[in-house]
Structure 1
Amino acid sequence: MRVISGQARGRTLKSVPGMGTRPTTDKVKEAVFSMIGPYFDGGQALDLFAGSGGLGIEALSRGMDKGVFVDLEYKSIEVIRANLKATGFEQQAEVYKNDAERALKALAKRGASFDLVFLDPPYRLKHGDKLMDMMDSLNLLNTGAKIVLEYESSYTYPERPGSFIELRKALYGEIAVSIYSFDKEDTVRQDAGQGGE
């Protein structure tokens, strides 16, 4: 694994030891960033099931101002910190050992808000849309925020869950990636339109 492009291009990233995490392959990472970027003019990123931190670090390398990395496993936290140090992004990152829902509540209490969120939960958990709704209700997302949801390709998420619109979906063997855009105003307009019919 390596940083593909941007400021830390070519830097090698450590993987989390053991089989508990699946790092996003360089091929999929390249495809994801070509869909959402490929470069950014600042902004705040959240890597919620961070694993090795590869996606969040790639976002920092490509121009995001700050990244928040969350994972429940000690091994992952150690690897994320090592990878941030290796890429020189320690000062632009916060790393938390927590489960996803508790982390979201804690971030909301601090008034955090994000422009880009990576959601790569364990495939047995089919709750990506639930977490997206939670981020919406906690006011954690800026208008136009992009959500990158990675999941098992045999599963299907809705195209319009709550205040989100699926912009792109791509399949890579057993992996599916959906890119959602957050637009509360658009959802309100649509609801108002439907109410008048």
Structure 2
Amino acid sequence: MRVISGKCRGTRLIAPEGTLTRPTVDRIKETLFNIIAFDIPQCIFLDLFGGSGAIGIEALSRGAKQAVFVEKDKSALASIRKNLERTKLQDMAVIYESDVRAALDQLKNKSQKFDIIFLDPPYAMGDIESVLRKIAENELLYEEGYIILERSTNTLVSLPQNLVLWKEKTYKTTTLSFLRKEKDSENRNLSREF
């Protein structure tokens, strides 16, 4: 696992020990960042279920202004901190050692907003909808901001009110779903399940 592009290109990253985290493979990470490349410079990036921190670190390497990492697992948190040290990006990062839902409330209380929110929950988590709902309710996205959900292709998700599926990229077992705020002019009959 490595940083693919930007000022930290080629830096090797460590992954947490054990099977609790599932790092995004480099091929999918590269495709993801090719899709969002023009939105990265100077953006505020939220990496939920941070794992090794590889996604948020890739965003920082490519010019994001700040990345916020949320992770509760101690081994994963240690990996995020070591990877930020390796890339010398600690000054641009904020780490929440917390459950995702509690961190989303803390971010709301700080009036924090994001251009891009990336979430890669454990595939067995089951209740992705409640996290998406909390992001929407807490108004954590800037008006033109969006959410990227990495999920098992077999996982069905029901969207909360005010979020719509914008685009999607599917691989064999992994799907990247791009969500944004629903605009008043958009068709309200769009599917709320994907």
Length-normalised TM-score, structure 1: 0.89
Q: Which residue of 2 aligns with 1:195?
A: none
Inter-CA distance 56–174: structure 2 relative to 1 (3 Å threshold): same
Q: Which residue of 1 aligns with 2:29?
A: 29
Q: Which residue of 1 aligns with 2:110?
A: 110
Question: Offset of 1:175 from its aligned partner?
Answer: 1.4
Deviates more, 1:6-15 or 1:127-136: 127-136
Query: Residues 6-155 of structure 1 correspond to what in structure 2 (within 5 A)?
Result: 6-37=6-37, 40-155=40-155
Q: Which residue of 1 aligns with 2:174?
A: 175
Inter-CA distance 191–70: structure 2 relative to 1 (3 Å threshold): same
Length-normalised TM-score, structure 2: 0.90
- Equivalent residues of 1:36, 1:146 under 8 A apart: no
Name the SS of the counterpart of 2:149 in structure 1. Answer: strand
Report Cα offsets for 1:139-176 as digits up to 9, x if no partner: 21101212110111112335x64222322212222211
Q: Which has the higher helix share?
A: 1
Report Cα offsets for 1:159-194 as digits up to 9, x if no partner: x642223222122222111112234xx1x34489xx
- Equivalent residues of 1:71, 1:96 under 8 A apart: yes
**Matches of 1:190 and 1:166 in 2, distance apart?**
11
Question: Offset of 1:38 from its aligned partner?
Answer: 5.1
Q: Which residue of 1 aligns with 2:163?
A: 164
Inter-CA distance 161–137: structure 2 relative to 1 (3 Å threshold): closer
Gaps spanning 5+ residues in structure 1: where? 193-197
Q: Which residue of 1 aligns with 2:192?
A: none
Gaps spanning 5+ residues in structure 2: where? 189-194
Inter-CA distance 61–39: structure 2 relative to 1 (3 Å threshold): farther
Percentage of matched positions with identical amino acids? 34
Report Cα offsets for 1:111-142 as digits up to 9, x if no partner: 11111111111111233333222112112110
Deviates more, 1:33-42 or 1:3-12: 33-42
> Could you say what the CA RMSD is over the residues aligned between the two structures, in angstroms?
1.9
Length, aligned pairs only: 189
**Matches of 1:39 and 1:58 in 2, distance apart?**
13
